[in-house]
């Protein structure tokens, strides 16, 4: 990525002409990767009618110096008509019904005024409509604080930068809803109460009762509170003088435990009032960006033992018994459920409510990245590896060690083949592939009965090592996993480490994340965008596909308690204060060193 791309301003991208669309899906992808050629006043031609503002053969400026391109009336009108998200003149009821299709937004002409444009968005289980106003003096269209010469360029700005269209709504234009090949005769009669009934920021009364006879039930995250990461340009509402308001919105997501249904993680109790009393904005932001989850080990508890000491052999003896008694299926399901809880948090619904999840892998990446630079994924990955190592090497009996080794190997197999949770499987593999376990030949032979065939142990180890995510893999390779159901939860161990193990944002630049983080996110976005162009998008994410299935598996309470992230850390470190990330790093190094000394001679 160039130096310009890592700055706070949008990079200057040379305009190019669009040509040769091979289909709606391919066309939509091209607009995510970069800006198409500036359109000048092409929509103005539509406003003035055929042959008025732009007559046949009249030169139209493309915004590029010394280059003038001529367009006919048909070409002018065809420019916006070719966009996959433009549905032409459409009745609002039909436009809302099309929001039920795959995608998140579409644009129409007003049914009675073809010179007016409306944006329809699907966000947080609701539908929204907003006008795209045109200023006849500046001859620009606007959405929020952004103004462009054309609707196409305006929409592409929000698509490329993945910024919320409006602070009031918070909706991001992730993927267009393409024009259907055949319109249904009953299209306007389609109505789903869960989806309809959003706000109407455009100022028109759509009659919310008409579209929402029954309001959605259950708690949903108000995503207008999400602090989105600006990819290439700093939005105006992130100026320093509004930083406190932004911090307050972000904190409000943390503080309501009821929003985190399904998650077993402890939550910070900091309120916006507390933050105001801090000395500086930098201290406020630093405190909030220590990690999305503030592990409060003093409040955790273990149901199977009263007091946990650091690497307590008795505690891990009980842990081993719980794991073996629960069996492979329950252990794998418990770990996969915890992964889903961490990844989705408030995206998950209350019991009985329908699922509302991000529709693609990149939005799943953007969600945690925009909310506190989530280190909880990276923390769980590292400490789960140390927990597995400790669960084996701290056992006093060789038979118990062998049984747990066999169990963990089967759990890895279950996570990869059944649950597709490569992220957790990778953490477990890292825990097994330490020298104090990997080099214990007699332990492997006893666990798998390979005394007669030593080559079988080596083959098993090789297969295990192949499942690991190598740290040397490029970030682009890791990011490419985001769009595919077969590798989601994405195999994102390197991505998590690269993206979320960063310093807090630079408050002097208005709370913008540091340039290295923006650069890595841009690389991930580019990999995802190319997959969209190649048609490699799967609508169903891992968390959406697997969540209900995971909850059909009975998980014993003691197993669920033992594998909670807080209790893993409690067993490894005892009840210590780890609110500072440097303390966490120090403990991780000490635990790794200590466990390396516990191997059998």
Cβ burial, residue 65 (10 Å; 0-12/13-18/19+): exposed
Taking every pair of Cα atoms in the chain, the longest distance, rounded to a whole number of angstroms, is 90
Q: Comparing 69 with 153, which gets the higher pLDDT? A: 153
CB 470 within 8 A of CB 426: no
Q: What is the mean pLDDT of residues 213-240?
A: 29
382-418 in b/e form (b: 16+ CB < 10 A) is bbbbbbbbbbbbbbeeeebbbbbbbbbbebbbbbbee
pLDDT of residue 529: 57
Residue 251 scores a pLDDT above 80: no
Q: Which residue bears the tokens 């999400």?
A: 226
| 107-116, 169-178, 308-317, range with the lowest pLDDT | 169-178
DSSP H or E segment with residue 354: none
CA distance 211 to 216: 12
Closest CA to 591 of 470, 448, 434, 359: 434
Residue 559 scores a pLDDT above 80: yes
| 341-350, 407-416, 522-531, range with the lowest pLDDT | 341-350
- Which of 182, 216, 250 represents a domain boundary (last residue)? 216
CB 227 within 8 A of CB 172: no
Categorize the per-residue pLDDT at 27 as very low, low, confident or very high, splitting at 50, 70 and 90: very low
Q: Comparing 398 with 76, which gets the higher pLDDT? A: 398
Q: What is the pTM of this model?
A: 0.48
pLDDT of residue 399: 93
What do you get for the CA distance between the two ends of the chain, in Å?
Answer: 50
pLDDT of residue 311: 83
Categorize the per-residue pLDDT at 400 as very low, low, confident or very high, splitting at 50, 70 and 90: very high
Q: Look up the domain containing 98 and give its range.
A: 4-216
Residue 266 scores a pLDDT above 50: no
pLDDT of residue 517: 54
HSE-up of residue 75 (Cα within 13 Å, Cβ side): 14
Residue 169 scores a pLDDT above 80: no
Q: Which residue bears the tokens 């320093």?
A: 240
Residue 487 scores a pLDDT above 50: no
- Which of 216, 237, 267 represents a domain boundary (last residue)? 216
Residue 398: φ, ψ to 5°:
-65, -35
**What's the total number of domains in the chain?**
2
CB 117 within 8 A of CB 153: no
| 299 and 159 within one domain | no
Arithmetic mean of pLDDT over the chain: 60
Instruction: Decide if 239 is inside a domain.
Output: no
- The DSSP letter of residue 148 is E
pLDDT of residue 118: 92
pLDDT of residue 336: 86
| 557 and 443 within one domain | yes
| 173 and 35 within one domain | yes
CA distance 426 to 467: 7
| 8 and 124 within one domain | yes
Instruction: Decide if 258 is inside a domain.
Output: no
CB 543 within 8 A of CB 340: yes
pLDDT of residue 403: 95
Cβ burial, residue 108 (10 Å; 0-12/13-18/19+): buried
pLDDT of residue 310: 78
Q: Comparing 159 with 286, which gets the higher pLDDT? A: 159
Instruction: Decide if 36 is inside a domain.
Output: yes
pLDDT above 90 covers what percent of the chain?
Answer: 9
- The DSSP letter of residue 506 is B
Instruction: Decide if 257 is inside a domain.
Output: no
pLDDT of residue 408: 94
CB 340 within 8 A of CB 547: yes
Domain CATH number, residue 440: 1.10.840.10
| 344 and 209 within one domain | no
For the chain, the residue count is 601
| 298 and 206 within one domain | no
Residue 55 scores a pLDDT above 60: no
Categorize the per-residue pLDDT at 488 as very low, low, confident or very high, splitting at 50, 70 and 90: very low
| 357 and 471 within one domain | yes
- Which of 216, 248, 279 represents a domain boundary (last residue)? 216
Residue 220: φ, ψ to 5°:
-130, 150
Summarize pLDDT for 275-324 with one digit per residue, the tens: 344 444 334 333 333 334 445 555 566 766 665 677 888 889 999 999 99
CA distance 492 to 543: 14
| 533 and 412 within one domain | yes
Summarize pLDDT for 507-536 with one digit per residue, the tens: 344 444 555 555 655 665 565 555 555 554
Q: DSSP for 432-451, please give it.
A: HTSHHHHT-HHHHHHHHT-T
Q: What is the mean pLDDT of residues 493-518?
A: 47
Crossing angle for the helix pair 454-467 and 441-448, to the nearest 10 degrees: 100
Instruction: Decide if 230 is inside a domain.
Output: no
User: Which residues, other chains included, contact 38 with Cβ-Cβ below 8 Å and sequence gap of 6+?
Assistant: 15, 62, 63, 64, 149, 150, 153
Closest CA to 255 of 288, 280, 278: 288
Residue 402 scores a pLDDT above 60: yes
Categorize the per-residue pLDDT at 1 as very low, low, confident or very high, splitting at 50, 70 and 90: very low
Instruction: Decide if 254 is inside a domain.
Output: no
Q: Give the C-alpha distances (Å, rounded to integers) separating 408 from 337, 391, 414.
A: 17, 10, 10
pLDDT of residue 117: 92
pLDDT of residue 425: 82
CA distance 496 to 343: 11
pLDDT of residue 109: 87
Report residue 419 CA to chain centroid gap.
19
pLDDT of residue 196: 30
| 570 and 472 within one domain | yes
Instruction: Decide if 526 is inside a domain.
Output: yes
Among 58-62, 157-161, 367-371, the range of highest mean pLDDT: 157-161
Q: Comparing 329 with 71, which gets the higher pLDDT? A: 329
| 184 and 41 within one domain | yes
Residue 497 scores a pLDDT above 70: no
Domain CATH number, residue 210: 3.30.505.10
Categorize the per-residue pLDDT at 273 as very low, low, confident or very high, splitting at 50, 70 and 90: very low
Q: What is the mean pLDDT of residues 183-191?
A: 47
| 171 and 84 within one domain | yes
Q: What is the mean pLDDT of residues 496-504?
A: 46
| 182-186, 237-241, 277-281, 332-336, range with the lowest pLDDT | 237-241
Q: Comparing 286 with 126, which gets the higher pLDDT? A: 126
Q: What is the mean pLDDT of residues 17-38?
A: 31
Q: Comparing 441 with 270, which gets the higher pLDDT? A: 441
Cβ burial, residue 518 (10 Å; 0-12/13-18/19+): buried
- The DSSP letter of residue 504 is P
Summarize pLDDT for 442-477 with one digit per residue, the tens: 888 888 877 656 676 677 777 666 655 444 444 444
Report residue 530 CA to chain centroid gap.
18
Instruction: Decide if 248 is inside a domain.
Output: no
| 468 and 583 within one domain | yes
Residue 112: φ, ψ to 5°:
-105, -5
Residue 538 scores a pLDDT above 80: no
């Amino acid at each position: 990525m160039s130096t310009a791309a890592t700055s706070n301003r949008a990079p200057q991208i040379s305009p190019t002409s669009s040509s040769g669309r091979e289909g709606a899906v391919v066309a939509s992808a091209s607009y995510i990767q970069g800006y198409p050629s500036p359109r000048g006043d092409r929509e103005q031609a539509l406003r003035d009618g055929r042959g008025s503002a732009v007559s046949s053969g009249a030169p139209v400026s493309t915004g590029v110096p010394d280059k003038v391109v001529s367009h006919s009336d048909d070409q002018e009108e065809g420019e916006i008509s070719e966009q996959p998200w433009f549905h032409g003149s459409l009745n609002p009821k039909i436009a809302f019904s099309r929001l039920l299709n795959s995608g998140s937004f579409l644009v129409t002409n007003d049914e009675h005024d073809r010179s007016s444009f409306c944006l329809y968005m699907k966000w947080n289980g609701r539908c929204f409509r907003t006008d795209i106003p045109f200023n006849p003096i500046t001859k620009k269209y606007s959405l929020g604080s952004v103004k462009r010469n054309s609707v196409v360029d305006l929409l592409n700005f929000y698509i490329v930068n993945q910024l919320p269209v409006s602070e009031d709504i918070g909706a991001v234009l992730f993927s267009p809803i393409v024009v259907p090949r055949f319109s249904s005769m009953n299209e306007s009669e389609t109505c789903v109460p869960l989806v309809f009934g959003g706000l109407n920021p455009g100022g028109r009364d759509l009659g919310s009762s008409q579209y929402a006879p029954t309001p959605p039930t259950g708690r949903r995250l108000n995503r207008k509170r999400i602090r989105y990461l600006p990819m290439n340009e700093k939005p105006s509402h992130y100026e320093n003088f509004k930083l406190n308001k932004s911090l307050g919105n972000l904190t409000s997501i943390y503080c309501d435990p009821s929003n985190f249904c399904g998650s077993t993680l402890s939550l910070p109790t900091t309120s916006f009032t507390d933050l105001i009393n801090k000395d500086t904005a930098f201290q406020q932001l630093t405190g909030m960006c220590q990690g999305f989850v503030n592990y409060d080990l003093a409040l955790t508890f273990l149901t199977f033992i009263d007091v946990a000491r650091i690497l307590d052999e008795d505690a891990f003896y009980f842990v081993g018994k719980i794991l073996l008694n629960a069996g492979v299926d329950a252990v794998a399901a418990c770990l996969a459920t915890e992964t889903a809880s961490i990844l989705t948090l408030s995206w998950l619904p209350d019991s009985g409510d329908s699922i509302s999840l991000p529709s693609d892998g990149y939005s799943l990446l953007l969600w945690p990245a925009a909310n506190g630079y989530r280190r909880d994924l990276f923390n769980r990955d590292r400490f789960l590896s140390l927990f597995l190592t400790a669960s084996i090497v701290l056992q006093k009996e060789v038979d118990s060690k062998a049984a747990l080794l066999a169990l963990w190997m089967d759990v890895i197999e279950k996570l990869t083949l059944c649950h597709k949770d490569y992220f957790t499987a990778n953490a477990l593999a890292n825990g097994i592939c330490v020298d104090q376990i990997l080099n214990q030949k007699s332990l492997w032979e006893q666990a798998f009965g390979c005394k007669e065939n030593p080559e079988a142990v080596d083959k098993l180890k090789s297969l295990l090592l192949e499942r690991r995510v190598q740290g040397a893999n490029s970030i682009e390779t890791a990011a490419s996993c985001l769009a595919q159901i077969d590798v989601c939860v994405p195999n994102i161990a390197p991505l998590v480490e690269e993206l979320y193990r960063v310093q807090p944002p630079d408050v002097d630049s208005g709370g913008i994340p540091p340039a290295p983080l923006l650069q890595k996110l841009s690389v991930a976005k580019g990999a995802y965008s190319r997959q969209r162009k190649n048609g490699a998008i799967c609508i169903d994410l891992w968390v959406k596909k697997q969540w209900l299935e995971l909850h059909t598996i009975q998980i014993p309470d003691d197993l669920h308690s033992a594998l909670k992230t807080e209790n893993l850390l409690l067993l490894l470190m005892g009840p210590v204060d780890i609110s500072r990330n440097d303390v966490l790093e120090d403990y991780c190094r000490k635990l790794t060193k200590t466990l390396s000394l516990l191997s059998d001679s």
